[in-house]
Structure 1
């Protein structure tokens, strides 16, 4: 396989990524990949892209607008609907890319983007197969659960203060950490010490562009994020959901609830044993297990390797 630097326009902003191509000639299927909260393209996703390329598919990994190598302001601002449009524009880029079969495109997402690809598959018929891994499915319920009552009060007050600041002084905004080592005393979007430690190590070893920060408005937007109205539209799109057995960050029970609302018979739930949300980043054995599941799903539904829709 080989990897090319690419860029494309997304609503007037230059978005940059990597296109992985398998060996050989001829048009091949392609999968588009993007990350979760504050992720940059170097963070874990290349492992999945390489697995898909090894299976005979192209893979496009990109940084959303406002993050990493892509342009866009304000930096570290996460608008989920803008990110979904970045996915759509990545599909449009793949459609006009030589060597890519535009009729065989898939979408992969993890954590926040695990929810994005469910919305994308429901709203964009170009997506012919989906892998949704440990997805965020309901921002409001997720935030209420992980912050707890007192923590959520602090979070809500900070959001209101940010709204007032942006109304009073346009152009100004507040920021908060992605995660904190001391969530009892430091407000963060995702109040888990293991998240902070894992991403700090990934920043040190493979993703130097990662920043432990987002706009406060990003969390405000998360509270209105809900894939519920969209999953019921997935009536004929092959959909694999990968759930970590011990996931209390994006909440395995909410994920399975969403999975059960997907009407297509061409769906599969894979519960990864002995895992948590963060071990799918820190433990390469767990990551390999997830990548293998995803590769088999895309191979079955984009390459035609396996006729069983639940394989």
Structure 2
């Protein structure tokens, strides 16, 4: 059993909204702050990952980034990783202010793009007592170059230049770009995998009606400057769990493992899930249960959970 309520808080003056889920029993509880990948999070994460974590006696705060989901901010569907990292830190500030939460036992959880964000947050915010990184994006430039191939990557960079000129000369937010496409060889998209298109549209139909399968073109341009490796090297003593899907061709498991190996903390754990794809951790209940169980056990061990 648990108690769930909608909450809102400010991040750099912008109103963010999310859900706070508290375990049964007396508080104050440890807290895991949860953010989504190239999408908003609340209806996609719940009840899957959060349910297992709350079951271990750890509260969760699931929030939508600025410009996405239930949160405010313009332009809509603009994905700025630096701003999203600030949103994580604002969520921590909000969480630690609540009487139900133990401010000394707060961790962060992220998946895909947010799997990279939490490594940065953990390295730069001393309030973070543990990091759980699922199938993270760790090097945006290398990721995009590899998944698009040389010719399509060239076309992608040409699109960025055209959009940058439009934003500068016309004073607009620029154009839109599909998150993925069923025809990636003829339609440019950020993540050129038909499986992403199929699975997220199924999730939208089933449980996440606010999901929008596009972003600003500038969002993908910003991804090219994203690299978490320098921050991973600063996780000296923060317990860190990284969950990797074996053979992940979307966020590139070899890059993920290289970043994990660079983390100097002795309190780190790597879980490589065999025969699991990137999108399995969004769509397949058995795989969700495995990754959710690993996260719940790690959070409870590092933050206290029911044992506290």
**Interval containing the TM-score (normalised by the shorter chain):** over 0.9
CA distance in 1, matches of 2:133, 2:47: 16
Partner of 2:47 in structure 1? 46
Q: Is the 8 A contact 1:33 1:45 kept in 2?
A: no
Aligned ranges 1:198-217 → 2 under 5 Å: 198-217=199-218
Q: Do structure 1's residue 110 and structure 2's residue 108 form an aligned pair?
A: no
Q: Is the 8 A contact 2:204 2:210 kept in 1?
A: yes
The normalised TM-score by structure 1 is 0.97
Partner of 2:77 in structure 1? 76
Partner of 1:309 in structure 2? none
Runs of at least 5 residues in structure 2 that lack an aligned partner in the other structure:
none
Aligned-pair RMSD on alpha carbons?
1.1
Aligned residue for 2:235, secondary structure, equals coil
CA distance in 1, matches of 2:47, 2:161: 38
Q: Do structure 1's residue 65 and structure 2's residue 66 form an aligned pair?
A: yes
Superimposed CA distance per residue, residues 129-174 of structure 1 (whole angstroms, 9 cap, x where no aligned partner): 0100000000000000000011101111100100000011112411
The normalised TM-score by structure 2 is 0.98
Partner of 1:294 in structure 2? 295
Q: In the TM superposition, what is the alpha-carbon distance from 1:222 to its structure 2 partner?
A: 0.4
- Provide runs of 4+ in structure 1 moved above 6 Å: none
What number of residue pairs does the alignment pair up?
Answer: 306
CA distance in 2, matches of 1:41, 1:12: 21
Partner of 1:262 in structure 2? 263
Q: Do structure 1's residue 34 and structure 2's residue 35 form an aligned pair?
A: yes
CA distance in 2, matches of 1:280, 1:304: 24
Partner of 1:282 in structure 2? 283
Superimposed CA distance per residue, residues 87-140 of structure 1 (whole angstroms, 9 cap, x where no aligned partner): 000000011111100000010000000000000000001000010000000000
Q: In the TM superposition, what is the alpha-carbon distance from 1:188 to its structure 2 partner?
A: 0.2
Runs of at least 5 residues in structure 1 that lack an aligned partner in the other structure:
307-311
CA distance in 1, matches of 2:197, 2:291: 22
Q: Structure with the greater relative contact order (CA < 8 A, sep ≥ 6): 1 or 2?
A: 2
Aligned residue for 1:224, secondary structure, equals coil
Q: Do structure 1's residue 166 and structure 2's residue 129 form an aligned pair?
A: no
Partner of 2:100 in structure 1? 99
Partner of 2:183 in structure 1? 182
